[in-house]
């Protein structure tokens, strides 16, 4: 998985402003529509919400991974948002989400979708990576941090300090 090809400056939101789960999902979808990665917003949103209703994609450590499969994308698409104050995402640990990563992939292709979710989860489980991203002043720095974490293959076991 090449983070630099998957997460580009045009799909990173540095300072999300949504006040709830609905609003942040809309913000991320707007990014994907604005850059032309999603052309059928309603269909894509419906898929995200169908998946979200089954079980919240709010994880632990401030991470939320709203994702879905639908046939309005040709391949894996990603939007990466930072919500510095945090937003309620019905997370497993009850903590607010600061890192909201939305993915969509075609219904008939599981590989890249699963691989990306596993990789980004591994990277963001590292407390140092999360802190560095929250402190980042620009999109390029965030992408560099994620790419460095990908390249180092930092073992998340033992790196979590919370």
Q: Is 113 a catalytic residue?
A: no
Contacts of 135 (CB under 8 A, 6+ apart): none
Tell how far CA 109 is from the center of its chain: 19
**Sequence-distant (≥ 6) Cβ neighbours of residue 123 within 8 angstroms:** 129, 146, 149, 150, 154, 156
Of the listed 61, 67, 98, 113, which one is catalytic?
A: 67
Judge residue 108's burial from the number of C-beta atoms within 10 Å of its C-beta, 0-12 exposed, 13-18 middle, 19 or more buried: exposed
The torsion region of residue 94 among left (phi > 0), alpha (psi -120 to 50) and beta comes to: left
Q: Which active-site residues does the annotation give?
A: 67
């Amino acid at each position: 998985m090449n983070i630099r090809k998957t997460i580009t400056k045009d799909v990173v939101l540095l300072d999300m402003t949504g006040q709830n789960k609905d609003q942040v999902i809309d913000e991320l979808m707007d990014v994907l529509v604005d850059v032309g990665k999603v052309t059928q917003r309603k269909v894509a949103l419906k898929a995200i919400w169908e998946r979200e209703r089954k079980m919240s994609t709010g994880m632990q450590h401030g991470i939320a991974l709203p994702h879905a499969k639908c046939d309005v994308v040709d391949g894996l698409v990603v939007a990466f948002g930072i919500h510095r104050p945090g937003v309620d995402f019905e997370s497993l640990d009850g903590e607010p989400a600061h890192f909201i990563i939305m993915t969509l992939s075609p219904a008939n292709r599981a590989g890249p979708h699963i691989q990306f979710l596993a990789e980004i989860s591994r990277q963001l489980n590292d407390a140092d990576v999360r802190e560095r991203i929250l402190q980042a002043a620009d999109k390029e720095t965030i992408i560099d941090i994620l790419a460095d974490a990908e390249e180092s293959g930092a073992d998340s076991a033992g790196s979590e300090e919370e």
